Amino acid sequence: MASETFDLPPYFNIDPDKAMEELGAATDSAGFARIAEACARGRADLAGRGLNQEGRKTLRMFSTWEITRYLIPVAAAHFRRVLRQNPALPQGRSASDGGAKWFTLDEVLRLRAHFAAEGSQAKEYRPYRPEGQPAKIVAVANFKGGVGKTSTCAHLAMSAALDGYRVLVVDLDSQGSMTSIFGGRVEDEWSTVFPLLARHYASHLQRDNRARSDRGEDPLPLDDTLSEALKIGAQDLIQKTHWPNIDLIGAQLNLYWAEFQIPVWRMQSRGWKLWDALTDRLEADGLLDEYDIIFLDTPPALGYLTINGLAAADILLVPLGASFLEFDSTGRFFDMLHSTFSSIEEVENMAARALGREGLHFEWDAVRAVVTRYDSSQQAELAALMQVYLGSVLSPHRQDFTALIGQAGEQVNGIYEADYRDFNRETYVRGRQAFDATYAAFKRLLVGVWRRDEMAQDDRTG
Ligand SMILES: Nc1ncnc2c1ncn2[C@@H]1O[C@H](COP(=O)(O)OP(=O)(O)OP(=O)(O)O)[C@@H](O)[C@H]1O
Ligand SMILES: [Mg+2]
């Protein structure tokens, strides 16, 4: 009788001599260059085979079913009637005679404008934005990696665009995931937010130097970077995307340089309010009027770029999974936010008190943690417990785990870019529900916050 044999797990009996033989030479810093070079060659090969992400992205078309189900709240029959009565409106294209009609998003936006102008006033054809109120800046942040920041941010941007808002997406993550989702092309740091931050510092330095010369001191020099940055405005950095109403300020690896440069500038001139840089530049360059919502995707770190993004934000969303580890580290993230921003306030307010000026007080219109990748069969208990402790800070809406995201392939990023005909209709509807609900929960915040500002404005003008 053969004795029972077990395969030992692979980590037993590793022969040290064999292991050494396989090892290869030690790596030095030039070794990284060789690895990078191998990657670059591989990348070129993949691109040559058409496996890259490049080549202009195009957005899919939208059918009458989808438009009347999700985008313009009218019955399909009425929609068709209005199109027949108005031959000047986009009529859509169909693959076959009498087949479903398909429209580009640009055409959908024109149709929506028509319904808003001509249709019933009782219906919400255009999403709410109070007159005279600036755009809202929304940051999606958590120093824990892989919690769903970029997915949440990209889906919110797309659903807001489908809803009719004018959206700007700013990628603050040098990994550039958001940039590739929106097909952005970024040569170097000069096409990222970097020049905006540099310009903010350069303007500060110019003012500082005037004060210095008044005191009879030597001015600090403006180097080439700073002089160059003074010529650059946000409009120079904005790229169009394959979405007609989503624009992008992209990122790529060089943006990481800002993490080293910002503290050097701050050391040079202590009075520079680095946390205001992004806010001030977005405002000064008119972007708060040009767009309705500005989404900031941040890196999984609490560095200077994230601090700038957080300080600029009106609404802060903190995605996290319903797991112990993510709950735990999100708690520490909030702790870090507290110590970072309160220590900035403390130092500023000491100086302000000495000068008899008004102090600094950071404030966010709304802060919400959002459960992502939620699996109700496994995580209901943990999520309920998180809800008990976090109360209203945790959005009651949980973004379900959906296979549609991973599945959607390289050219399409997520639910809103996917053609529903490629999926089982049930699967599609459920996947879409998950992100529509995330958007609805976000839009409630946005609308509430805008309304509060509008009321405060009315009170002031009286
Ligand atoms: N609702 C969801 N259902 C299924 N998968 C999801 C969902 N949300 C995010 N994911 C997946 O989780 C992974 C991490 O998501 P994402 O890249 O958005 O996280 P991140 O926080 O931006 O990561 P990083 O910290 O690296 O920037 C991705 O593979 C994404 O496809
Ligand atoms: Mg990300």
pLDDT tens per residue across span 318-337: 999 999 999 999 999 999 99
Considering the chain, what percentage of its residues have pLDDT values greater than 70?
Answer: 95
Nearest CA-CA partner of 182 in 173, 233, 389, 343: 173
| Ligand 1 centroid, distance to 415 Cα (angstroms) | 13
- Decide: 373 in ligand 1 pocket, CB within 6 A: yes
Please identify which residue in the block is written with the tokens 């709304």. Answer: 366
Confidence of residue 408 (pLDDT cuts 50, 70, 90): very low
Q: Tell me the whole-structure pTM to 2 decimals.
A: 0.91
Distance CA 188, CA 194 (A): 10
| Ligand 1 centroid, distance to 148 Cα (angstroms) | 4
- Decide: 399 in ligand 1 pocket, CB within 6 A: yes
Report for 7-16, 117-126, 266-275: range of highest mean pLDDT: 266-275
| Ligand 2 centroid, distance to 422 Cα (angstroms) | 26
Mean pLDDT over 291-317 rounds to 97
Reported as a single tens digit per residue, the pLDDT across 437-461 is 999 999 999 999 999 999 998 888 8
* Residue ID of nearest Cα to ligand 1 atom 16: 148
Distance CA 449, CA 453 (A): 6
Reported as a single tens digit per residue, the pLDDT across 33-52 is 888 888 888 877 776 765 55
Ligand 1 closest atom vs CA 299: 27
* Residue ID of nearest Cα to ligand 1 atom 14: 146
| Ligand 1 centroid, distance to 16 Cα (angstroms) | 39
The predicted structure's pLDDT at residue 6 = 76
Assigned token pair, 440: 């609805």
The predicted structure's pLDDT at residue 312 = 96
Q: Is 410 helix (H, G, I), strand (E, B) or coil?
A: coil
Reported as a single tens digit per residue, the pLDDT across 103-131 is 999 999 999 999 999 888 888 888 999 99
- Decide: 396 in ligand 1 pocket, CB within 6 A: no
Mean pLDDT over 370-382 rounds to 94
| Ligand 1 centroid, distance to 281 Cα (angstroms) | 30
Is the pLDDT confidence value at 421 over 80?
A: yes
Q: Which ligand is nearest to the CA of 146?
A: 1
Secondary structure, 3-state, 438-461: HHHHHHHHHHHHHHHHHHHHHHHH
Give the largest Cα separation in the chain, rounded.
99
Confidence of residue 411 (pLDDT cuts 50, 70, 90): low
Q: What is the DSSP string of 56-97?
A: ------EEHHHIIIIIS-S-HHHHHHHHHH-TTS---B-SST
The predicted structure's pLDDT at residue 252 = 95
In contact, 168 and 249? CB cutoff 8 Å:
yes
Is the pLDDT confidence value at 3 over 60?
A: no
- Decide: 413 in ligand 1 pocket, CB within 6 A: no
* Residue ID of nearest Cα to ligand 1 atom 25: 145
Assigned token pair, 126: 């255009």
Output 6 or 13, whichever has higher pLDDT: 13
| Ligand 2 centroid, distance to 362 Cα (angstroms) | 25
- Decide: 150 in ligand 1 pocket, CB within 6 A: yes
Is the pLDDT confidence value at 405 over 80?
A: no
Is the pLDDT confidence value at 412 over 70?
A: no
Output 282 or 26, whichever has higher pLDDT: 282
Please identify which residue in the block is written with the tokens 């692979």. Answer: 10
Query: Angle 27-29-32 (CA atoms, 0-180°, nearest 5)?
Result: 75
- Decide: 298 in ligand 1 pocket, CB within 6 A: no
Reported as a single tens digit per residue, the pLDDT across 152-172 is 999 999 999 999 999 999 999
Is the pLDDT confidence value at 55 over 80?
A: no
Mean pLDDT over 186-211 rounds to 96
Mean pLDDT over 386-398 rounds to 91
